[in-house]
Amino acid sequence: MKTIKVYTPAELKELFPDAFEKAHERYIQSDYEIPWSEDTIESMKAVFKAAGLALRDYSIDGYNPGNSGLKVDIETAAGELAGQRAIAWLENNLFYALRTPWGLGKIKDRVRYQHPAGSIPECPLTGYCADDDYLDALTKEILEGSTIKEAFQRLAYVAGKILENEIEYTQTEEYFIENECLVYTEEGRLI
């Protein structure tokens, strides 16, 4: 039986910096799952569902968000709304149901919501922060002149950007050092 001494990425960096560099480079090149990818997609789907829209086909590319795309089923008249009418459509079909109700008379109801009346709480659809990114992106797109359909189609790019940011973060030295479930030999070989 042979005993092998192993090191976390943090220990490897401190004790064997050259081996750390090699291990980090191999980690970056490895085929790993993008963190939060499923939650990011589920959050996007939740926005469509909350707005009463059918998301048909989608392709989200975290390595090149510009290649992301989706198809949304929306009636032609509503899909072509822009400006103030599009803002009203978003409010009536999506935001209104997410807002904290007004006129909560009972203290237990006020405590339950813990948000100012009329506001949309953080992460209201899935509890994941991408909810806010999607809702903000819809508002921004409409304010910049997009139609409802264009704004919802743009969510594919937003999802791709979220995943791209996750990929970039997972390749940082900081993330690698925090990943203590990985152990290495003093030569930088993964065990």
Place 88 in a pLDDT band, splitting at 50, 70 and 90: very high
Of the candidates 68, 56, 36, the one whose C-alpha atom is nearest the C-alpha of residue 157 is: 68
35-73: b (≥16 Cβ within 10 Å) or e: ebbebbbebbbbbbebbebebeebebbbeebeebebebe
Place 121 in a pLDDT band, splitting at 50, 70 and 90: confident
For the chain, what are the domain ranges? 37-170
In this prediction, residue 133 carries a pLDDT of 97
In this prediction, residue 18 carries a pLDDT of 92
Whether residue 137 has pLDDT greater than 90: yes
Whether residue 110 has pLDDT greater than 60: no
In this prediction, residue 144 carries a pLDDT of 97
* The pTM of the whole model exceeds 0.75: yes
Whether residue 150 has pLDDT greater than 90: yes
Q: What is the dihedral of CA 23, 26, 28, 33, to 10 degrees?
A: -110
In this prediction, residue 154 carries a pLDDT of 97
